Amino acid sequence: MPHVHGGPARSFILGAALGCGVLSVSAQGLPLQMTLELKAPEPAPDTVAHAGEARVVRSLFQGQPSQPPQPAHATWAVDFSHDQTLKHGASTDFALTWALGNDLDDSGGRFRLAANHSLYRYAVDPIRRQVARGRSDQVELLAGWSQVVGRYTWMALTGYAWARSVEPGSESVTDSSVKSVLSVYAQPTDGTQLYSALAHTHRVKYTQWLLKWGLAASPGGYWGPELKADWRGDGPWRAAPAQRRLGVQWSSVKVGDLWWGLSLGHIDDKDIGEGSYLSLGAYGSY
């Protein structure tokens, strides 16, 4: 949920695709920053033995909040997003972010409390594409710093995430991990927006990257592409993404007191296969 000085439409509503709203450790997709952060539902690792643990870490990544324009003297913000897929599951994220001793539009400390609920599918037999269903819930506490540099707002957060996953035929798994997130929000020009977030769950080596770009257009908001990729159990520098998303997004659309965003597109997962997704997000600051 980066913040930038400038015109009223200056942020992307991250449709749960978070992470990088918030921009989490969990069983399903650790969220919507380089705030390294743990949170959207993702498939399990290649071995069933580690499926429960991977679910926990993944849900920490879900829900990476976005940052629409802030009202004068806004000191806290609320972010909500829901991500629905046809084959890979669904996730819902909710987050509260506070500016510590300053406004959200200014440089300064940040504190975030976030929660995620995920219904996911994971591969039991990756070769035959056989899948099972699971459920995960996670909570995270993150703190860090937001720095405004010209048209760019950088935010780095780190903290802890706790998650619990339940899968048929096995005991529930509870886990925790350090989560870190680094994000940047910008208006490179008067008619464009840019948002990117990188989140990493340390203990299980789960990494997620999100990129959104938009061009101001009628009837309002910003239209553009979005790209998301995640790596499970290995770093981006050592292996191809375990899951990729490519879609279109419409963000920073004001309805009442909230800024809304919508995105949809295509998923390619190495274990579950291909599918489609639809994400809806809302953001408000007060």
Residues 198-215 as b or e (16 or more Cβ within 10 Å = b) = bbbbeebebbbbbebbbe
| CATH classification at residue 274 | 2.40.160.40
pLDDT band, residue 177 (cuts 50/70/90): very high
The share of the chain scoring above pLDDT 70, in percent, equals 73
Q: Is 14 a domain residue?
A: no
CA atoms within 13 A on the CB side of 47: 4
Q: Is 238 a domain residue?
A: yes
Give, rounded to a whole angstrom, the gap between the first and last alpha carbons of the chain. Answer: 14
Q: Is the pLDDT of residue 205 over 80?
A: yes
Residue with tokens 């996953």: 165
Q: Is 50 a domain residue?
A: yes
Average confidence (pLDDT) over 210-216: 96
Q: Is 185 a domain residue?
A: yes
The pTM for the full model equals: 0.73
Q: What is the pLDDT of residue 49?
A: 33
Q: Is 18 a domain residue?
A: no
Q: Are 179 and 36 in contact (CB under 8 A)?
A: yes
Strand 192-201 vs strand 258-269: parallel, antiparallel, or unpaired?
Answer: unpaired
The share of the chain scoring above pLDDT 90, in percent, equals 52
Q: Is 29 a domain residue?
A: no
Q: Are 94 and 111 in contact (CB under 8 A)?
A: no
Alpha carbon separation from 65 to 197, 203, 273, 285 (Å, rounded) = 10, 23, 27, 12
Count of domains forming the chain: 1
Q: Is 241 a domain residue?
A: yes
pLDDT digits (tens, 9 = 90+) for 13-60: 333 333 344 333 333 333 333 333 333 344 433 333 333 333 333 333
pLDDT band, residue 278 (cuts 50/70/90): very high
With H, G, I as helix, E, B as strand and everything else as coil, classify residue 228. strand
Q: Is 22 a domain residue?
A: no
Residue numbers of the domain that contains 104? 35-285
Q: Are 208 and 227 in contact (CB under 8 A)?
A: no
What sign does the dihedral 248-189-13-270 (CA atoms) show?
positive
